[in-house]
Amino acid sequence: MRTCSLLNVTLFFFYLQQGKAWQHQAKERSPVILIPGDGGSQVEAKLNKSKVIHYACEKVSNDYFNIWLNLELLVPYAIGCWIDNMVLNYDNVTRKSYNQEGVDIRIPGWGDPFFVEYLDPSKAFPGSYFKDIGNMLVNNLGYVRNVSIRGAPYDFRRGPNENEEFFVKLKTLVEETYIMNNNQRVTLIAHSMGGPMSLLFLQRQTQKWKNNYIESLITLAGVWGGSVKAIKVFAIGDNLGTHFLRESTLREEQITNPSLGWLLPSKLFWKDTEVLVETASKNYTLADLQQYLIDINVPNGWEFRKDTEKYQMNFEAPGVTVHCLHGSAVGTVEKLSYGKLEDYPKLVLGDGDGTVNARSLKGCLYWQSDHHPKIYHQEFPGVDHMRILKSDDILNYISNVLSV
């Protein structure tokens, strides 16, 4: 007990001194909290399973280990074990998802930017995420990790209805970061699904609180109104941009994530009559989405949609200055075209950033009015959904905003 108390006192003075150093270097600069998108947080698992799907799969682990992003677990001989540990089960009575029996999942590193800068703790190249933004803040602007740069990871498999704790903890993190940095208002930098997660968070706060604690929201490739790619993932999966992983294999895990239902196209941005899936015998519009998900044998996809659609439909402005940045002119799936539904579909492409459709990326423009803080919007042609995290143009934009 005394050891813990001594450690706490030591840490307090460490952070106090770091905070003073930060204040000296950049007294007027806004501290930053990084908010990741889908797949943008490290995930750890601890196993105590009575059975496994394959003799090579581990039943019991003595401690938590990194399961996302762990490239060693995504190779062909181990991928089945990984899927069995990462999938969620869904109870359509309680409207909640739960982990596999004998699998304990946790999201490590609350507040620590390392856990969103790198998805692989070993810092392997494919696992870098907010790394370039973090390095720019430290090397160019004098920011200090765990003082003026913080991280807000969460379980991206689940939708906002199952991430209530995140919103509560984020408010505390903002207030704590504000105090640690000499009462400087905080800038939220959010990527992809982190955009609407940040929006929901800000909608829950009073305007007085936001005026006091929030400097601005910078969003990178915000998925404001869902994406047709979510339909594609439900249908055939996604290989995460790799050549060694099969879409159909990863689909087994991806279609169990309620957050995927939240990312389906929003009625605010697509008309009910728009054809999203076409076959030789039948077309599916947005209004037919439930039937399509049933026809491709993922009925839970519609349950996920029902649980999360209200979060899409509440598109009230966040009440803070927004810098809405995204790519454009990158081929992005806008329709699936089949011969027969059991065939592999042709992906009909349109404008977007390769993942999110242009109309969804531009959703922030709906908030432009005389009654709302300024909305700054800029497109970056040719910058795709992940490249935006390391684009020099984006890094310069963020640097300029934080240097004012």
Q: How far apart are CA 116 and CA 6, in angstroms?
A: 29
- Strand 149-151 and strand 32-35: the pairing is parallel
Distance CA 211, CA 186 (A): 10
Rounded to whole angstroms, the Cα distance separating 266 from 264 reads 6
**Amino acid letter for position 74:** L
Half-sphere exposure of 349 (CA within 13 A, CB side): 10
Start-to-end CA distance of the chain, whole Å, equals 46
Measured CA to CA, the distance from residue 258 to residue 90 in angstroms comes to: 9
Hey, which residues does 233 pair with through a beta bridge? none
* 201, 171 Cβ separation under 8 angstroms: yes
Closest CA to 389 of 203, 212, 194: 194
Distance set, CA 259 to CA 49, 108, 161, 321, 347 (Å): 26, 19, 9, 26, 22
| CA neighbor of 241 nearest in space, from 252, 228, 231, 250 | 250
User: Helices 194-203 and 164-180 meet at what angle, rounded to 10?
Assistant: 80
Question: What DSSP designation does 107 have?
Answer: -
What the block records as the tokens of 348 is 């009909």
**What's the length of the chain?**
404
What radius of gyration, in Å, describes the C-alpha atoms of the chain? 21
Amino acid type, 289: L
Residue positions annotated with a catalytic role: 192, 353, 385
Is beta strand 283-285 parallel, antiparallel or unpaired with respect to 346-350?
unpaired
